[in-house]
Amino acid sequence: MKALVLKRYGGAKHVEFADLPRPTIRPDEILVQVHAAGLNPIDNVIPTGSFKPIIKLQLPATMGSDLAGVVVEVGSRVTRFKVGDAVFASTFDLGVGALAEYAAVPEHAAALKPENLDFVQAASVPMVGLTSWQALAERAKVQPGQKVLIPAGAGGIGSFAIQLAKLLGAKVATTTSTPNVQFVRQLGADEVVDYKKQQFEELLRDYDVVLGTLRGGELEKSLQVVRPGSSIVSLIGPPDAAFAQKRGMNFLMKFVFSLLSRKIIRMAKKRGANYSFLFVRPDGERLAKIGEHLAASRLHPVVDKVFPFAQAKEGLAYLGQGRAKGKVVVQLVKPVAES
Ligand SMILES: NC(=O)c1ccc[n+]([C@@H]2O[C@H](COP(=O)([O-])OP(=O)(O)OC[C@H]3O[C@@H](n4cnc5c(N)ncnc54)[C@H](OP(=O)(O)O)[C@@H]3O)[C@@H](O)[C@H]2O)c1
């Protein structure tokens, strides 16, 4: 089968198409014919090697971690799926790549695809849906009426997290560039700061929750808008000691991460805020719950661009420009009507 693989660390030049054997499945796995695979910024970071201490990959490794497709084989211990089911899944950090014609997906990572979504739309959801849920609902425990700041509202995470925060009953502020102001309003943002014209830290006050989505000092600035007792949940780091502990990392890594996060934790404490780093984990049951909201049109997938499989590298390069408006998805199987 055809797959997009990372041959060795050192950047995008080591990402190539390869012919691999079709994966064989274990008793607790399903074999999925991948119809579409969603791209995420981490797919551009992994090839650089900078995540080596955190994500252990056996190279060559198939790229990607968000997929939607059809079950073509089930393992002997699988109970929730049968051949022919349309599913979607995040295989992030499970050593299973999505940018391949077939993927062996652990049953616990998959959920039935909402029927109202096509494969491209479904493949756009897992990483951003699970991350938003784990950050806002589980970690920050967002309550109705709370004020939530979601910077970079037009991106993959932002376009989903704004919708989820609204679903949880929050008042949502976001930041974006001038051309995307209307777009993020339509997603549900109550306060929109056009960062080309205004500084969000001069306009917003008393926020209960901040989602850390942007590097370059934005996290530190966001501390100026929070109230005592607030939660700062960062997706972009720095990782903290609790994260190292959860991943069973050794003493040295715990020490390194506590050093890296010391400054932001101290700054947050001064404001009475709690800082934590979140690293998304696959969760088929939660994805099924998100799927229910999608099926009922309480949440909507936001797809910016679709690339055919042969142009997956161009898709990664487009995402890497950091201007995506929603999600970038690679299509491996065209629907019959379009083919
Ligand atoms: N820790 C985890 O488990 C986890 C999970 C998922 C994602 N992440 C991380 O979260 C970050 C966001 O991911 P993503 O998928 O949303 O990325 P993305 O889709 O590539 O984000 C692109 C968006 O960022 C916006 N943007 C860029 N600079 C901005 C600025 N200064 N102010 C406001 N908006 C700005 C752009 O909007 P404009 O064109 O309007 O500027 C664009 O819409 C990435 O670093 C990713 O790796 C972490």
Q: State the pLDDT confidence band at 299, using cuts at 50, 70 and 90.
A: very high
Question: Is the predicted pLDDT of residue 266 greater than 60, yes or no?
Answer: yes
Q: What is the pTM of this model?
A: 0.98
**The dihedral formed by the CA atoms of 89, 90, 95 and 96, expressed in degrees to the nearest 10:** 30
**For position 339, what pLDDT does the model report?**
54
Give the residues surrounding ligand 1 with Cβ less than 6 Å away.
40-42, 127, 131, 151-152, 154-158, 175-177, 180, 195, 213-214, 235-236, 278-280, 319, 322-325
**The dihedral formed by the CA atoms of 222, 233, 185 and 183, expressed in degrees to the nearest 10:** 100
For 242-261, the pLDDT digits (tens) are: 999 999 999 999 999 999 99
Question: Residue 47 forms beta bridges with which residues?
Answer: none
Give the whole-angstrom CA distance, residue 272 versus residue 231: 9
Q: Using the mean position of ligand 1's atoms as its centre, give its distance from the Cα of residue 157 in Å.
A: 6
**For position 77, what pLDDT does the model report?**
98
Q: Where are the domains of the chain?
A: 2-125+301-338, 128-277
CATH topology for 2-125+301-338 is Quinone Oxidoreductase; Chain A, domain 1 (3.90.180)
Q: Ligand 1 pocket check: which of 177, 186, 286 to mutate, most ligand atoms within 8 Å of Cβ?
A: 177
Q: Using the mean position of ligand 1's atoms as its centre, give its distance from the Cα of residue 74 in Å.
A: 36
Q: Using the mean position of ligand 1's atoms as its centre, give its distance from the Cα of residue 212 in Å.
A: 9
311's CB contacts (< 8 A; 6+ apart) are 330
**For position 327, what pLDDT does the model report?**
98
Tokens of 54: 């955190």
Phi–psi pair at 300, nearest 5 degrees = -130, 140
Q: Which atom of ligand 1 is nearest to the CA of 174?
A: 33
For the structural domain made of 128-277, what CATH number should be given?
Answer: 3.40.50.720
Q: Do domains 2-125+301-338 and 128-277 have the same CATH topology?
A: no
**For position 20, what pLDDT does the model report?**
98
**For position 338, what pLDDT does the model report?**
62
